[in-house]
Amino acid sequence: MNISEIIKPEYGKNDQIMYGDLDKTVADVVQLLMENRLTVSTGESLTGGLLSERITSVSGASGVFELGICTYSDLMKQNMLHVPSDILLQHGAVSRPTAYEMAKGLRQMSKASLCLTVTGLAGPGGGSTILPVGTVYAGFAYQNQVAATLLKLWEFPELDREGVRRKTALCVFQLAKQLLLA
């Protein structure tokens, strides 16, 4: 399996991963992890622990969940997940290279089979014309491969801060499920 065949460079309003039931998708992911004796870790910025919280809400998650870390600041992205400072200086915290490096660093730290990372702008403030609120990058490390994708959640103007966070979680778990099924 080539991870880039599963994780596209970007996803928008017309992509299937944007829709579904978050709780069911997370339960499916945890079940697949248990069946395949795999583990998962999360490295979160804009979701502030939501990915970890959703995983641990599923009975049996203790058998698959390794680590959940919230690296909200650039300093913690560098210190905890080993995102190189030049990546943050050149591309910023909300970027594909940062999400990629977060996933890579999380895999090195946790040794989990599947690593999920997110960084982005949940709003309502902080956006710009270049990086609008709803710009989210997700990183994935699986089977010794790493990929990062753009989630264009600005295409859902009805989403508030919590909506962006929940939609991010849904998309990440939808993609995690696709990786585990591949």
* CA dist., res. 13 & res. 65, Å (int): 30
Predicted confidence pLDDT, tens digits, the chain (182 residues)? 899 999 999 999 999 999 999 999 999 999 999 999 999 999 999 999 999 999 999 999 999 999 999 999 999 999 999 999 999 999 999 999 999 999 999 999 999 999 999 999 999 988 898 999 999 999 999 999 999 999 999 999 999 999 999 999 999 999 999 999 99
Q: Running DSSP on this structure, what letter comes out for residue 144?
A: T
* CA dist., res. 112 & res. 170, Å (int): 20
Place of tokens 């979680």: 169
**Could you tell me if 169 and 21 are in contact, meaning their C-beta atoms sit under 8 angstroms apart?**
no
Q: What pLDDT, in 10s, does the model give residues 79-109?
A: 999 999 999 999 999 999 999 999 999 999 9
| Cis, peptide link before residue 124, omega less than 30° from 0 | yes
pLDDT of residue 127: 86
142: left (phi over 0), alpha (psi -120 to 50) or beta: beta
Look up residue 130 and give its two tokens: 């270049």
Helix (H, G, I), strand (E, B) or coil at 36: coil
Q: What residues pair up with 138 in beta bridges, in sequence order?
A: 118, 149
Angle at 60 between CA 55 and CA 66, to 5 degrees: 55
Burial letters 99-128, b for 16+ CB under 10 A, else e: bbbbbbbbbebbebbbbbbbbbbbbeeebe
Maximum distance among all Cα pairs of the chain, rounded to whole angstroms = 44
pLDDT of residue 28: 98
pLDDT of residue 126: 87
* CA dist., res. 33 & res. 176, Å (int): 10
